[in-house]
Amino acid sequence: MKNTLITIVGATAIGKTALSIKLAKHFGCDIISCDSRQFYKEMSIGTAVPDPEEMDAAPHHFIQNRSIFDDYSVGQFEKNALSKLDELFKKNPIQIMVGGSGLYVDAVLKGLDYFPEVDASIRENLNIELQEKGIKHLQEKLKELDIETYNSIAIDNPHRLIRAIEICIGTGNTYASYKNKPKTPRNFNSIKIGLTADREIMYDRINRRVDIMINNGLLDEAKNMYPNKALNALQTVGYRELFEYFDGNFTKEFAIEEIKKNTRRFAKRQGTWFRKDKNIIWFDFQDDVQNIIKILETKI
């Protein structure tokens, strides 16, 4: 049997973790997490990392293995994940990857585009601009420098925005000009499945998850990281809004509603990203796992 990686994708709060554990138990394999927010050990509640019972149910990799103070890129994750997969495939020709971070999924399955190294001071200056002038200022800057990338990336994601701008400034070329070059073929087969739900159901699940996070102590978790709020790892939904509350710009109630609203927007972007991939086999989030397994086994 050729090595096969089953990848589970879909919007946040759709049930990917639960399905990945059921499939890992069935196939007797490990789980590679490619959720870019779950890498960081300081961020537990706001990133919905698997709970201890879920972690014990199947071996997981790349969950809370980094610090928010580490500079960890999608390129580093690609190398680390491929190395781990080489190791895991020696034990079992079937492995599972799960996550809602489309760029990180593509990095493992397809490979990344090559971008030249640029002066680190460019990113430092852009982070200062973000803090002093806000994200709209950087959005306008990217629009002027590279309209193609402006129209294709999530421009409300500060990390992606800064990455694109630093390439434009540091190389004198557009970020888009480095995209879509030939990649190194992978040494495993890939099967992609996705979970979906009606929009109203998905949004209700998101709203309820945010309420659970608040009840579980998200405010205290965010408060502990507030002194380091400028770090790239913390430029994410669930923390940004609470930092605004701590700054006195939002009420607590408004901050919570903003988390829900921005998480719903994030889920919509995830859906847009994954729907472009015609190779994903879609299932309703309530589909019977035995039906999913049966279909997978015809593909392996």
Binding-site sequence positions: 10-17
Dig out the tokens for 155 from the structure.
């421009």
Structure tokens at 162: 């800064």
**Where are the extended beta strands (E) located within the chain?**
4-10, 31-33, 60-61, 94-98, 189-196, 280-284
Per the annotation, binding residues for ATP are 10-17
Distances (CA, A) of 17 to 10, 13, 100: 11, 9, 10
Binding residues for substrate: 12-17
Residue 214 to residue 221: CA distance in whole angstroms: 10
Q: Are the C-beta atoms of residues 28 and 299 closer than 8 Å to each other? A: no
Strand order in the sheet with 189-196: 60-61, 31-33, 94-98, 4-10, 189-196, 280-284
